[in-house]
Structure formats: structure tokens, C-alpha cells
Amino acid sequence: MTEYKTEYKIEESYRRNDIGFSSLGIENKYYKDDYWYKQDISGYEGLAEEVCSTILRHSNLKEYVEYEACTINGKSGCRSKNFLRKGESVVTFKRLYETACGEDLANRIYAIREVEDRIHFVIDFVKDYAEIDCTEYLRNILSFDMLVLNIDRHFHNLALIRTETGYRECPIFDNGAAFLSNWGIFPPDEELELLIGNAAARPFSGSFEQQAVVLGTGIKLNYPAVFNEIKNISHKRLRDVLEYQLNRYRTFFI
């Protein structure tokens, strides 16, 4: 685990040149044979994605995307199976709000003073517009982001799936900005605890804990199994961050 072992050669005709779901840079993405391939932008995002799905595999959650760290046309990255069924499409919270209200959801949220009120504003909006209660969805994502330090959880990777009859929730996806994976933001020569302290959350607050405590957590981890997986992580900083965070929030996830 956590090595870019498998090499995939993807023809250029399968490239998807769009910004995708990341706000930290333009992703090199390919779609072939019902798999998405995403090259790393600025660090070890592919490894972070794989470790996040490994952690969730040892949790009580079922709705998440499995990622495989790999090499794509000679560059590190990851791949994942398309989670959409025939006739379905992803509708992000950002697009949902723009369609309904004609304005940017992030701007609307930051006009609300309290973090708790921001979160409940989004829950109420999604419930009113899409007839989906996303409380549990947000509870799981915000608490998981606190554990893995995902600094790029914006309203373009919080989403619903539009079906032929309505909407359903997306699985948890797009965790590549976890574990201080961006070398540009988190330089390798800085002290680990300082870097962790500087990691800022999104989208409701700059504090991971402030976001997570509003709804609490429904995630329960098999700690022995997760720590056993850590032994297989060859990337030192990723391993160190994960160990630090697991110990820091042990009582939160058991």
C-alpha cells in the first residue's frame, strides 16, 4: 500500500481537460473503461486518496470511493471506479445553489456569522430544494476531514447524485488534499506539529474542530486494523501525520 506500483498508459483521447473538483489547481484527468485516472498536481495526492479509502474500509461507513495509488503515463496519481449508475450525474452543492438561487453558495455562507448556522443553512437548503436530508452526509465528511486534515473540502466536492427520479447522496470522494500532501503549502523542512496547526479547514470554518463538533461524528474506526495498515505506509510524512491525528482524536472515533 501507498506506493505507486501499477503503471497505466492512457491514450490522450481519454483526457478530460477541465478544472474538475479541485480548487488547488487544474487536474490532469482521464476517463477510460468506467475508471477515472487523476495525476498528482503538487505532492502526493494519489497516496493520500488511497490511504483515506483504506481508513474508511476499516470504518462503519459504506458510501465512499475506493482509490488506488498508481502511475499514469509516467506521472504519479490515482484511479477510481466511476460511482454513477446509468443515467445519473453529479450535482455539486455549489451548482445546486447557483441553479436555485443564482448566487455563489460560499459567498452566502460567509454572510452568516456562526459556523453552526452556516451548516444548518446548507442542510435546510438541500432538504428544501432536493428533498434530501444531508445531515449524516455532512456529519461524516466534516469529522473525517478533521481526522485526515483535508484542506480542500469546498462546495464543489460536496454533492448529490441526480437520478431519473430525484436525488441521492454522493459517496465521500476527493480527499487528495489530506495529510499535508501539497508540498507548496506544507514545505518538507517545517516541523510537523507546526504544519498541522497551520492546516485550515473548509468550507464552513477555518477550524476543522469547529466544523466537526457541530454535528459530531457517526464514524467509528477499527483502530487496531488502521494501525496495522500504517505499518505498510512507506511515505514517512503521510504515516507520521496519520499516526498523530489518530492518537489526537482517538476518543472521537472509537
Q: Domain limits at 49?
A: 1-84+133-154+170-254
126 occurs within a structural domain: no
HSE-up (13 A, CA, CB side) for residue 18: 6
pLDDT digits (tens, 9 = 90+) for 73-127: 999 999 999 999 999 999 999 999 999 999 999 999 999 999 999 999 999 999 9
Check pLDDT > 80 for residue 198. Answer: yes
The answer to the question of residue 99 being in a domain is: no
pLDDT over 80 at 128, yes or no: yes
Task: Check residue 24 and give its pLDDT.
Answer: 55
Whether residue 113 lies inside any domain: the answer is: no
32 located within any domain: yes
User: Quick check: is 69 in a domain?
Assistant: yes
Considering the chain, what percentage of its residues have pLDDT values greater than 90? 92
Give phi and psi for 215, each to the nearest 5: -105, -10
192 occurs within a structural domain: yes
Count of domains observed in the chain: 1
186-209 average pLDDT score: 97
Q: Is residue 19 part of a domain?
A: yes
At 140 the three-state DSSP class reads helix
Locate 45 and state its grid cell.
495526492
Model pLDDT, residue 26 = 58
Q: Where are the beta strands (DSSP E) in 28-66?
A: 29-32, 35-39
> What is the pLDDT averaged over residues 215-242?
96
Residue 19: per-residue pLDDT: 46
Task: Evaluate if pTM is beyond 0.85.
Answer: yes
Task: Please provide the average confidence, as pLDDT, over all residues in the chain.
Answer: 94
- Report the C-alpha gap between 194 and 196 in whole angstroms: 5
Is residue 127 included in any domain, yes or no? no
Q: 16 pairs with which residues across the strands?
A: 29
**Per-residue confidence band for 51, with pLDDT thresholds at 50, 70 and 90:** very high
